[in-house]
Amino acid sequence: MKNKKLIWQLPFLVLLIIGTIFIIRQQQSVPYQHNTGLVFGTSYSLKYQCDSDLVKGIEQELKKVDNSLSPFNEKSIITAVNNNKDVELNEMFLSVFKKAMEISENTGGAFDITVAPLVNAWGFGFKSGSDPGKAQIDSLLNIVGYKKVTLEAGKVVKQDPRIMLDCSAIAKGFGTDVIANYLRSRGVKNFMVEIGGEIVTSGINEERLPWKIGVTKPSDDPLSDKGSELMTILNVTDKAMATSGNYRNFYYKGGKKYAHTIDPKTGCPVQHSLLSATVIADDCATADAYATSFMVMGFEKARKFLEKHTELMVYFIYSDEKGNNAVWFSPSLKDKIVE
């Protein structure tokens, strides 16, 4: 009886094996598309396995994000909000606003999308480099603070009409998520989406291997040979990754080095040992926002925060007591470090 049962099952097993081989060969024959371009004031690079080029659809999705969240787009929703115009908030804007408020609350205000006036005053963003005095900083702090904006009946309500929203510390990550979700909606399973260094990956690369992403070694001069050296390589398959660092965006004035990360509470550039924060999470908007948050917090505060938020994986590069680069990473990240 057992032999007869096996004989009847054999054809099905053969068909299953043949079908599996056919599917694998078909997958291997599908090419990887490569798209590059500019968006949000930065560059993007996409690699995805698909039998057709999806660049037109991708550009349409990126335009939607730009029309929702770009403060440099005069017709965007966020520009209308900043100009106190009555505007209908779309799903993209609402999604980013709500996530930003959630992360601001979680980090005790280390992340804050109202910090733009201070960033501009210190010389980054719309204005050229300058060193604001205490009086100007104190004045600007009156219109900075995530608790000074709320969402009521589908509208952004500000305590002061001068308050500005700037989602640059989360929008690139969100845009990366949008394109990743668009590719998934088109049935693409193997891809890497990168916008301005924020990354989402899925499946395998062209070599049929997991995606591997490098973490750049901190260097004051990104144009030098050291500016492209890697500190480590991470396996980021089926995850999102974002990095924030003070070592590339700063200026010198009066013999002092001013970082681009502004502490929303003090109104001044942060002064601590953390050089870069790489965050791996399930979505890139979350990774992007927390990477900025940790650069505001600094090494010790960020480590204490992570004790309660084990869902996040991080790779910190900081300056030790001797001024040398040192590394700390989440225990859960150990298996993802390639070299």
Domains defined for the chain, CATH in brackets: 204-237+239-339 (3.10.520.10)
Does the structure show a pLDDT above 90 at 131? no
The mean-pLDDT minimum among 37-41, 76-80, 180-184, 295-299 falls in 37-41
Q: What is 19-73 written as a DSSP string?
A: HHHHHHHHHHHSPEEEEEEEETTEEEEEEEE-SS--HHHHHHHHHHHHHHH-TT-
Q: Could you give the CA distance from residue 281 to residue 15 in angstroms, rounded to a whole number?
A: 40
Q: What whole-number distance in Å separates Cα of residue 86 and Cα of residue 166?
A: 18
pTM of the model: 0.87
Task: Examine the pLDDT at 240 and tell me if it is beyond 90.
Answer: yes
Supply the pLDDT for residue 23: 46
Lowest mean pLDDT of 33-42, 108-117, 212-221, 276-285, name the range. 212-221
| 314: confidence class by pLDDT, cuts 50, 70, 90 | very high
Q: What is the CA radius of gyration of the chain?
A: 23
Is the pLDDT assigned to residue 337 strictly greater than 60? yes
Does the pLDDT value for residue 127 go beyond 90?
no
State residue 7's pLDDT score: 59
Query: Comparing 10-19, 37-46, 133-142, 231-240, which segment has the lowest mean pLDDT?
Result: 10-19
Cβ atoms of residues 135 and 105 within 8 Å: no
Helix axes 299-307, 284-297, angle to 10 degrees: 130
Instruction: Report CA torsion sign: 327, 333, 334, 335.
Output: negative
Q: How confident is the model at residue 10 (pLDDT cuts 50, 70, 90)?
A: low
Helix, strand, or coil (residue 256): strand
Residue environment code for 160-184, b if the CB has 16+ CB neighbours within 10 A, otherwise e: eeebbbbbbbbbbbbbbbbbbebbe
What is the rounded average pLDDT of the residues 105-109?
97
The model's confidence at residue 251, banded by pLDDT at 50, 70 and 90, is low
Torsions phi, psi for 61 (to 5 deg): -65, -40
* Residue 234 to residue 250: CA distance in whole angstroms: 27
Looking at residue 203, what DSSP letter applies? S
Contact 64/76 with Cβ under 8 angstroms?
no
